Amino acid sequence: MDKIVLGGGCFWCLDASYRLLNGAIEVVSGYAGGEIENPTYEQVSCGDTGHAEVVEITFDPKKITLEDILDIFWTIHDPTTLNRQGNDLGTQYRSAIYYTSSQQKDTALKSLANAQKLWSDPITTEVKPLKTFYPAEDYHQNYFANNPDQAYCQVVINPKLAKLREKFSQKLK
């Protein structure tokens, strides 16, 4: 098994998307990239902790490659908007790849360079080593499945999932 931590706006969107992948063993919403130990949602949502909302994806590289996970990453969020995804604004919504090995770093940087060819604006995604991942509170885990009728799920997450299903159907469960 392998793990990668990704940030691309609200973690509920990434969580819902990566749970659909064949080869994704576990997806955990959480926080990374900041300086405060054991941050809470209330602290992170103020934008003062330095943390981003992220997901930690545990995956089976025999079933899904890191390259595929990153291809999906570039598709389900806009990596060219600094500290923003849609109406979600602040450093906690930044685009980020937190790697756990030099091999992951190399793969991430190569993937970013390839993705840049698809975007007219510069990609602002930070690529940094993972220092610490903190799981988010229980009510954030698998949020979409537990709250499918919530307005944010209908208006923001559902269109991302439709795009994912359209472009990557062969990679989904």
pLDDT digits (tens, 9 = 90+) for 116-155: 999 999 999 999 999 999 999 999 999 999 999 999 999 9
| Domain annotation for the chain: domains and CATH numbers | 2-171 (3.30.1060.10)
pLDDT digits 0-9 by tens, 106-121? 999 999 999 999 999 9
Beta bridge pairs of residue 55: 6, 29
- Long-range contacts, 151-157 (Cβ 8 Å, 24+): 152/10, 152/12, 153/12, 153/16, 156/10, 156/13, 156/86, 157/12, 157/13, 157/16
| Distance (Å, whole) CA 4 – CA 127 | 11
- pTM for this model (two decimals): 0.96
pLDDT score of 31: 98
Average pLDDT (102-107) is 98
pLDDT score of 78: 95
Measured in degrees and rounded to the nearest 5, phi and psi for residue 148 equal: -65, -25
Position 134, amino acid: Y
Based on the residue annotation, tell me whether 46 is a catalytic residue of this protein: no
Q: Point out the catalytic residue in the list 10, 13, 46, 153.
A: 10
Sheet holding 24-32, edge to edge: 126-129, 95-99, 2-8, 52-59, 24-32, 134-135
pLDDT score of 5: 98
Q: How confident is the model at residue 33 (pLDDT cuts 50, 70, 90)?
A: very high
